[in-house]
Amino acid sequence: MSKSRKRKRLLQDDGGDSKSPACNGSTISGGDPYPELLRPTVDECRDVRDALLSLHGFPPEFASYRRQRLRSLDGHDTQCSVDSDEEEESVLDGLVKILLSQNTTEANSQRAFASLKAAFPKWEDVSSPILGFDMVLVAEPNSVENAIRCGGLAPKKTVCIKNILSRLQKERGSLCLEYLRVLTVEEVKTELSHFKGIGPKTVSCVLMFNLQHNDFPVDTHVFEISKALGWVPKTADRNRTYVHLNHRIPDELKFDLNCLLYTHGKLCSNCKKNAARPKAKVASPDDCPLLGFSGLV
């Protein structure tokens, strides 16, 4: 695959081109693009969540983020909580994980992140003003690429990660994104949009998973199922889908519903995106409970 096609795939996975208006917040934060479309309703959102929860249970890969969210909603400081042995993921770790997850399987992205942290355990050595050569920022690109190669698109992702670290070091003097925790949603979007290679889906994932905001990322699975359900028009793009769903879906349902739609999209043969063949019809709604909802019957 050519470099230009690889770049296109990477950008499409994040919902757009970093040069598009969608990535600087102008369309991400605008008004509902489909104000006359009164779906999904609150009841639809709740029923879909409940149906998928009964089928799949809550996805274990998102359980730690859910516990952090619940502690945050309960008013506890998750960074300083003494009631849990679970260490909270740093915002920078979370951002890099999301970047590594693009255009690859979950297993491969997890291996890539584990390999990166094994090769470069710390983003910086806070005990010394001089960065060591075991830090990603000053490491040779080939070394970083080798560490994350199993996740695919290693050269492109390496450039993106090193650009983020370079900008942080230059503008803030520290390789840390914890300052985002005290910013508003719009401030976070504006701040992260300044980093090359970070698009709207990545920003939304950081908001939902690492900052415990009520946001609703739109990845390929969520996008395809939302169109199939009739929650957005067939002609909708991912940015407009993101804006519409964030207007329509109640805040208290966003996290669970998003995680479940993503999981279902990966597992259900009826709902998987595959443009090369017609969607297979399952024998019973017991196999795909979404068949019972308008748009998928």
Mean predicted confidence (pLDDT) in 241-260? 98
Cβ distance 98 to 88 under 8 Å? no
pLDDT exceeds cutoff 80 at 33: yes
The sign of the dihedral angle between the CA atoms of 204, 205, 211, 214 is positive
Q: What are the catalytic residues?
A: 201
pLDDT at 271: 84
Q: Model confidence over 92-147: pLDDT tens digits?
A: 999 999 999 999 999 999 999 999 999 998 887 655 444 445 689 989 999 999 99
What is the pLDDT at residue 269?
85
Check whether 167 has a pLDDT greater than 80: yes
- The whole-number pLDDT of residue 29 equals 54
Q: Where are the domains of the chain?
A: 10-86+178-297, 91-176
Residues of the chain with pLDDT > 70: what percent?
76
91-176 has which CATH code? 1.10.340.30
pLDDT attached to residue 277: 43
**What mean pLDDT comes out for the span 171-185?**
95
Long-range contacts of 271-279, Cβ-Cβ distance < 8 Å, separation of 24 or more = 271/221, 271/224, 271/225, 271/228, 273/220, 273/221, 273/224
